[in-house]
Structure 1
């Protein structure tokens, strides 16, 4: 193998596929990145690939291929070495006898021992998908950012560690829940699906994918294997494959309250800042609890939202914010982290908070958009 490419492109590719490199494994080859050449009509390209057997990432780098070949190289060593080089041409050549990859650029040179490419796991390939869809990269990134954080990290209930995705017509509905909160996002597809379908994707895998795809309207092609075991995402220069989670996702629609007694409109940024301040005290309260008291306005006096947190051994905190309040006065208590997570994911100037009673779930929605709903279970304050 003899190949040359730009350091900047190679370094980026190694960084991207490095997200799929296994850090805890007894198989040494899973700590490696597969490097393989491909000849194309316009010269050639370099294939970089890694897998941890749950996800796999393939990245394509434009390159000049003088001799074909393939090898696997320790991911961290190669990535660190290439990233330390200047933005110049990188030349790589493989000694087939010693399985050593020579990497040169300007005055820097290294020889790195590898493992035969034959030992690298076969990467999944969705050639005849059972279902498929297409979504814009920026739409996908926003949807994942607003939903995935609500997924559970408890591996004893695998279904709740996933991100449920239901493709229906030209829309996809994504949802995640961890028994204490629920996030639901509806997004538009680039075209209608030929057949409606639903899958459960690992939330952590989708977060990784959202970090490496571009933040523009370029398409992501989603293909699901006929046996519904894996999904392949094809973006610009990237192939990302993830295993799917088996099981039935809970019927979340009945969890979302259909009415409210109090509705509050408030600045997203102001509320997020106040919650973060109160959380400094809530974290020492034993339950990370923030109390919220909502008071309607009278005559020309605006309504208000009072946030309080109390930690017996540390102190207490009170933050009052102006708000537009419809309905009755209300009090409720939430986990501070849950509030911080959802407010940080909403990108509208105002949010709406819909409440019924201290024991009923609260609903948070972006004002001006009807495509996102977040439900948080309240904290019980008995004997507090």
Structure 2
């Protein structure tokens, strides 16, 4: 294998694989990417057996061939080289020689035949979705994904779609839940029972979606979620298991309704929570006519409180929440006004952007 590739093209190609390659030593081979030069293109393959990516770019190929090398080493070397063409040459011992001007280096490689069998797909039923819509849906749910490995079915976002209800994403860790629903535009959509996409796969989807203005193609095939855009193909192994009935977590007919300025609420929460318990992040919200007092108390650090104006005319409510859960929700919302619906100090609260039913967040209260 011998080829010439521009530095920017090589960095763009290998950069996409950096978070996919396995950094733990359970399978040392997974720190490598597979490079395959054929005719006038260079293809790259990267996998950790759960998330797999393949991409290609046109290059000047002098000799076809393939080899697997360390993704990190190749990326770090290319990053330090000068702008312009770089020559890659596979040597007889599967080492990869990297040349530019008077610079030469060789990195240890392995035979392409030793690289794990790369997943494939043959789905003919791809659907299209706007790239920024998909990214927005991930941003509005991924923070609620559970970190509890014993509840593996909650370690991802539940994704379902149908021609009638559109695209829907849900995430919960048992303390909070995020649900976002987007209508289907004039595109082909196939109904699905719903699948669970793991957190790591969602982060890789977000990376690909950065800067894409148009549509991307997605498909669900067996135990895989497939995303395509241009020459990039991302395949994600879905989490097996039954997702809980999230509809039952959404409280109905909450009598106390508050409208709050998002920025004022967010900045106040951040200030007051600085002196909250470092583990629980507990803050107390005290609601009365036209005002909300936010307070925190930590015997080891001190206490803080701040009052903000709100649109509220109900009776007095004192309710505790984990401040981080609320700030995560507010950060994910772009509206100026937030609707906050409550019942009592023991019942979950519901938050939505003002007059927007497409995004629903539920958060459990805390005893303070």
Using structure 1 for the length normalisation, give the TM-score: 0.91
Deviations, residues 237-268 of structure 1 (Å, cap 9, x unaligned): 32111111112111111211111222222221
Report the CA distance between 1:177 and its aligned residue: 0.5
Q: For the structure 1 residues 209 and 283, does the alpha-carbon distance in structure 2 shift closer, same or farther, using more than 3 Å as the test? A: farther
- For residues 80 and 159 of structure 2, the distance between their equivalents in structure 1, rounded to whole angstroms, comes to 40
User: Deviations 1:46-79 (Å, cap 9, x if unpaired)?
Assistant: 1122111111112222312222111011111111
1:219 Cα deviation (Å)? 2.1
* Structure 2 residue 9 is matched with structure 1 residue 9: yes
CA contact (8 A) 1:145 1:207 kept: no
1:138 to 127, 132, 136: 132
SS of 1:19's equivalent in the other structure is: coil
**Alpha-carbon distance in structure 2 between the residues aligned to 1:25 and 1:45:** 31
Q: CA 1:93/1:188 → structure 2, altered by over 3 Å: closer, same or farther?
A: farther
Aligned to 1:150: 144
Which residue pairs with 1:300 in the alignment?
Answer: none
Q: Choose from 292, 317, 342 the match for 2:285.
A: 292
**Cα distance 1:119–1:189, how it changes in 2: closer, same or farther (>3 A)?**
farther
Cα separation, 2, equivalents of 1:329 and 1:134: 48
Q: Does the alignment pair 1:342 with 2:334?
A: no
Deviation at 1:214, TM superposition (A): 2.8
| TM superposition shift of 1:208 | 2.5
Does the C-alpha gap of structure 1 residues 188 and 17 become closer, same or farther in structure 2, counting only changes over 3 Å? farther
Give aligned pairs, total.
366
Aligned to 1:222: 218
Give the Cα–Cα distance (whole angstroms) in 2 for the partners of residues 207 and 282 of structure 1.
30
Q: How far off its partner does 1:29 sit? A: 1.6
Q: Paired residue for 1:232?
A: 226
Gaps of 5+ in 2: none
Cα distance in 2 between the residues matched to 1:341 and 1:195:
31
TM superposition score normalised by structure 2: 0.94
- State how far apart, in whole Å, the 1-side matches of 2:233 and 2:248 are: 36
Question: Would the aligned equivalents of 2:17 and 2:71 in 1 still touch at CA under 8 Å?
Answer: no
Aligned residue for 1:347, secondary structure, equals: coil
Does the 8 A contact of 2:161 with 2:190 survive in 1?
no
Q: Following the alignment from structure 2 to structure 1, what is the Cα–Cα distance between the partners of residues 206 and 304?
A: 37
Q: Could you tell me how far apart the structure 2 residues matched to 1:359 and 1:195 are?
A: 38
Native 8 Å contact 1:135 1:188 kept in 2: no
- C-alpha RMSD of matched pairs (Å): 1.7
Q: Which residue in 1 is equivalent to 2:277?
A: 283
Quote the residue 1:332 is aligned against.
319
Distance 2:102 2:310 in 1: 63
Distance 1:188 1:45 in 2: 39
Where do 1:125-204 residues align within 5 Å? 125-128=120-123, 132-169=126-163, 171-189=166-184, 191-204=187-200
In structure 1, the residue matched to 2:243 is 249
The alpha carbon displacement at 1:230 in A equals 1.4
Between 331-340 and 365-374, report the one with greater CA deviation: 365-374
Structure-1 residue corresponding to 2:26:
26
**CA offset at residue 379 of structure 1?**
0.3
Contact 1:17–1:59 (Cα < 8 Å) also in 2: no
Contact 1:361 1:377 in 2 (8 A): yes
* Stretch deviating more after TM superposition (182-191 or 118-127): 182-191
Displacement after TM superposition at 1:26 (Å): 3.5
Q: What is the deviation of 1:326?
A: 4.5
In structure 1, the residue corresponding to 2:140 is in which secondary structure?
helix
